[in-house]
Structure 1
Amino acid sequence: MVSGGALLTQLLNGLTVGMVYVLLAAGLSIIFGVMDVINFAHGEFYALGAYFAVSIVGVLGGAGVGFWVALVAAPVIVGVVGGFVERITIRPLYGRNPLYHILLTFGLVLVFADLIELAWGTQPQAFSVPPSLAGTIGVAGFEYSLYNYFVILAGGVIALATWYALTETRVGIIIRGGAQDRGMVRALGIDIDRYYTLVFAFGCVLAAFAGIVLGAKQQVAPGMGNDIIIAAFVVVVLGGLGSFRGAVLGGLLIGIVQTVTQTYVPALSGVTVYVLMLGVLLFKPQGLFGNPEWQNHGDEGGDLLTGGGDGFLDDRTRRLVGAGVVALLFLAPFGIGVLYSSYLPNSLILNILVWALFALSLDFVMGYAGLVSLGHVLFYGIGAYATVMMAIYVTPVFWVGLLAGILLSLAIAWVVGHLSIRVSGVYFSMITLGFAQLAFKGISKFQETGGTDGLYTGYDATYGFGIGEVGQVNLLGDIELFYFVVLALVVGSYLLARQMMRAPFGSVLQAIRESEDRAEFLGYDTTAYKRRAFMISGGLAGLAGGLATINSFGVGPSFLFWLKSGEVIVMTLLGGMGTLYGPMLGAGAFLGLKEILLVGGETVGGPVGHLLEQWQGILGTIFVVFVIYVPEGLVSLPDTLRARFTAGGGGGGESTSEPDVEVSD
Structure 2
Amino acid sequence: MLGELFQVLFDGLTIGVAYVLLAAGLSVIFGVMHVINFAHGELFALGAYFALALVAPFGGAGFFLALLVAPLLVGVVGVAIERYTVRPLYGRNPLYHILLTFGLVLVINDLIYLVWGTGSTSLALPAVLSGSIDVLGLNTSVYNVFIIVFGSVVALAVWAVLEHTKYGLIIRAGSQDRQMVRNLGIDIDRYYSLVFGGGAALAAVAGIILGGYRTVSPGMGMSIIIPAFVVVVLGGLGSFRGAVVGGLLVGIIQTFLRTYVPFFEGLVIFLLMIAVLLFRPRGLFGVEFEEEGGGDLLTGTDGGILDPRTRTRLGLAVVGVLAVVPLGVGTLYSSYAVTFVIEVLIWALFALSLDFVMGYTGLVSLGHALFYGLGAYAVAIALLYVSGSAIVAIGFAIVVSAAIAWFVGYLSIRVSGVYFAMITLAFAELFYNALYRDPRGLTGGSEGQFGLSTYYGIAGMGVSLDDVALFLGPVVLTGQSLFYYIALASLVAAFLLTRRMLESPFGAVLKSIRENEQRATFLGYETTVYKRRAFVVSGALAGVAGGLFTLNAGYATPSFAYWLHSGEVIVMVILGGLGTLYGPIVGAAVFFGLEGILTDFTGRWRLVLGTIFVLFVIFLPRGLVSLPAQVAPYVMGGSGPGPDATEPTPDEPGVRGDD
What's the TM-score bracket when you normalise by the shorter of the two chains?
A: over 0.9
Structure 1 CA distance for aligned equivalents of residues 633 and 197 of structure 2 = 34
Tell me which residue corresponds to 1:605: none
Tell me which residue corresponds to 1:85: 81
Structure 2 CA distance for aligned equivalents of residues 651 and 144 of structure 1 = 66
**Structure 2 contact 123–212 (Cα < 8 Å) conserved:** yes
**Structure 1 contact 640–651 (Cα < 8 Å) conserved:** no
**Structure 1 contact 311–636 (Cα < 8 Å) conserved:** yes
| Residue identity in the other structure for 2:108 | F
Any idea what the Cα deviations from partners look like across 1:172-206, whole Å, max 9, x if unmatched? 12333444555665576655333100000010001
Q: Which moved more, 1:3-12 or 1:141-150?
A: 141-150
SS of equivalent to 2:613: helix
Aligned residues: 646
Q: What are the equivalent positions in structure 2 for 1:434-445 lying under 5 Å apart?
A: 434-445=426-437
Instruction: Give the gaps of 5 or more residues in structure 2.
Output: none
| Residue identity in the other structure for 2:442 | E
Tell me which residue corresponds to 2:529: 528
Tell me which residue corresponds to 2:614: 624
Tell me which residue corresponds to 2:400: 408
Structure 1 CA distance for aligned equivalents of residues 318 and 291 of structure 2 = 45
Structure 1 CA distance for aligned equivalents of residues 358 and 291 of structure 2 = 21
**Structure 1 contact 463–470 (Cα < 8 Å) conserved:** no
Q: Which moved more, 1:77-86 or 1:236-245?
A: 236-245
Tell me which residue corresponds to 2:306: 313
Per-residue deviation, 1:244:
1.4
Tell me which residue corresponds to 2:463: 468
Tell me which residue corresponds to 2:102: 106
The answer to whether structure 1 residue 74 and structure 2 residue 64 are counterparts is: no
Aligned equivalent of 1:355, options 338, 344, 347: 347
SS of equivalent to 2:113: helix
Tell me which residue corresponds to 1:501: 502
Tell me which residue corresponds to 1:638: 628
Q: Which moved more, 1:113-122 or 1:170-179?
A: 170-179
Structure 2 CA distance for aligned equivalents of residues 451 and 659 of structure 1 = 53
Structure 1 CA distance for aligned equivalents of residues 573 and 381 of structure 2 = 29
SS of equivalent to 1:391: helix
The answer to whether structure 1 residue 656 and structure 2 residue 647 are counterparts is: yes
Tell me which residue corresponds to 2:216: 220
Distance of aligned partners of 1:651 and 1:40 in 2 relative to their CA distance in 1, 3 Å threshold = farther
Tell me which residue corresponds to 2:515: 514
The answer to whether structure 1 residue 454 and structure 2 residue 448 are counterparts is: yes
| Residue identity in the other structure for 2:590 | A
The answer to whether structure 1 residue 382 and structure 2 residue 374 are counterparts is: yes
Structure 2 CA distance for aligned equivalents of residues 367 and 647 of structure 1 = 31
| Residue identity in the other structure for 1:631 | P
Distance of aligned partners of 1:571 and 1:251 in 2 relative to their CA distance in 1, 3 Å threshold = same
CA-based RMSD of the aligned residues comes to 2.1
SS of equivalent to 1:656: coil
State the TM-score, normalizing by the size of structure 1.
0.93
Tell me which residue corresponds to 1:251: 247
SS of equivalent to 1:137: strand
**Structure 1 contact 639–652 (Cα < 8 Å) conserved:** no
SS of equivalent to 2:646: helix
Structure 2 CA distance for aligned equivalents of residues 247 and 462 of structure 1 = 53
| Residue identity in the other structure for 2:646 | S
Aligned equivalent of 1:332, options 304, 309, 325: 325
Structure 2 CA distance for aligned equivalents of residues 180 and 494 of structure 1 = 44
Structure 2 CA distance for aligned equivalents of residues 660 and 97 of structure 1 = 16
Query: Percent identity, aligned pairs only?
Result: 56
State the TM-score, normalizing by the size of structure 2.
0.94
**Structure 1 contact 630–640 (Cα < 8 Å) conserved:** no
Per-residue deviation, 1:300:
6.2
Structure 2 CA distance for aligned equivalents of residues 140 and 532 of structure 1 = 57
The answer to whether structure 1 residue 11 and structure 2 residue 9 are counterparts is: yes
Distance of aligned partners of 1:336 and 1:137 in 2 relative to their CA distance in 1, 3 Å threshold = same
**Structure 1 contact 286–427 (Cα < 8 Å) conserved:** no
**Structure 1 contact 516–526 (Cα < 8 Å) conserved:** yes
Aligned equivalent of 1:33, options 31, 37, 42: 31
Tell me which residue corresponds to 1:261: 257
Instruction: Give the gaps of 5 or more residues in structure 1.
Output: 602-611
**Structure 1 contact 644–652 (Cα < 8 Å) conserved:** no
Structure 2 CA distance for aligned equivalents of residues 360 and 312 of structure 1 = 22
Tell me which residue corresponds to 1:341: 334
Distance of aligned partners of 1:511 and 1:214 in 2 relative to their CA distance in 1, 3 Å threshold = same
| Residue identity in the other structure for 2:171 | I
Structure 1 CA distance for aligned equivalents of residues 310 and 160 of structure 2 = 62
